[in-house]
Structure 1
Amino acid sequence: MMRSKTKIKSSKKRGSRKLKIIQKRGEITIKIHYIQNDSQVGLGKIENWAVQRKHILTSTKVYEKCNFPSLDEFDFLIILGGHMGAYEEETYSWLSLVKQFIKEAVNHNKYVLGICLGAQLIANALGGKVYPHTHKEVGWWPIEINKDASNVQILSGIADKFTALQFHGDTFDIPKDAVLLGSSKGCKNQLFIYGDRVIGIQFHPELTNELIEKALKTYEYSKGFKGFMQKPEDIISQFTFLDQSTDMLFTLLDNIQNKFKENIENTPLC
């Protein structure tokens, strides 16, 4: 168990550029730091994307050691999923530290992406309540993007409707000043944005077929397969939906990369 007294380091380099980059032959390298909350829930396809685009990846595995980088050491923060609830600080004391770090990243205008538990932690850090849903949502379910997304640059090129994998029993309230962008029939709050750089995703576009099969071996189906619960064999038989998830994820990440590049090009040197 991580000790809650762990301190978060803040950036003291006020005169440096807001976004740190490494430029080689005209390419922009983004320094991505991800927080892994569960040893069974890794980056998945996000790692493939980052490697293909030659970005830099660093991590904090909070279940091992709760050491966060200083805020000038990364440009883009990703918070992954996990089996715990965002409200279970008494059992997982490091959750409060993760939420504090998210607040710091948001306040310093970093790009932030949270997936499943990560989205719930962002919502909670920004003042939204996280709580058990009336039912679990597990399996492949359609996501519908609403009309408010049409003006969101980061979602440009993403289909209005696609099927994504769900693995959650909790939900959350949309934080004040955040905007709901996508929903499913089983859970209204699936996708939201805060400002123009902070995105929360309830579903799992990052999981590979190997990670899904691994998760299905340990997932607790205590109440059977009613409602929005699909059987493991039915989830595996629909792996063709992975292409839709990959398209959504890579389009989103490419949009973040392009926005990052635009901001760099428009930021005067200090």
Structure 2
Amino acid sequence: MTFFETLSEAPCDALTKCVGIDPTQDTLSAWGLDDTAAGARAFALTMLEAAHNNAPIVKPQIAYFERFGVEGYSVLTDIIKEAKDMGLLVLADVKRGDIGSTIDAYSQAWLGDKAPMQVDAITVTPYLGFGSLTPLLDRAYDTGAYVFVVARSSNPEGTTLQEHGNPKLWQTILDDIGTWEANRGNKTIGAVVGATVPADLKYALEQLPNAYFLAPGIGKQGARLENIKALTPDLKRIVVSSSRGLAAAGPKIADIREAIIQM
């Protein structure tokens, strides 16, 4: 089944849990692991084991693998395969954004059966113009992948740009998502709207009543689960992601599992 189909079968009364996999230098050090590709592999495998049967989605942050170069990408490719073998959905947090053949090339890397790092969903940024994403969105449509478009991010630095204009720029992006979906008749696109801005997340849920929303910011960025549980009766549409907060419970798998259960 596709990403959208899998999530749509979940019960409505619970948030959709997403386990972030961020092998940062600080986390690897705290776990007693070397700050190397091998250390990132050990960390990621532990997070996968903790997520298995406790959350439907894992979200590797690509930057923390890419920093190790070709060895990091080799580890990432293996981790994606291992996650899928476990039955986990993989959301690649890559935030790609470009134009024309370049964005299409990015999509070839991540989406579809021929992609070397095939995932179920991907994050993208639309701030070169929503239309610039068309080749990637078309590939996602054709392959059954899901795309989370960054609209209202969880970091405070994004506020000035994203809230510019009337209507606000991030609200215009939501309108673009809605128009694309209406024209294609398929559920391919949702949005990234931070859990740190629950009022904006509520607006987004109402504007796109069938879409899924990646809501980062739980834990280290200060967002609290209780602030978003009252936003919609269809809680499964909110994909809550925690990365560093869950990693802080490690390195014991049992402790990370318990932290995931408590999300």
Q: Which has the higher strand share?
A: 1
Q: Which has the higher helix share?
A: 2
TM-score, normalisation: structure 2: 0.36
Q: Name the structure, 1 or 2, with higher relative contact order (CA <8 Å, separation 6+).
A: 2
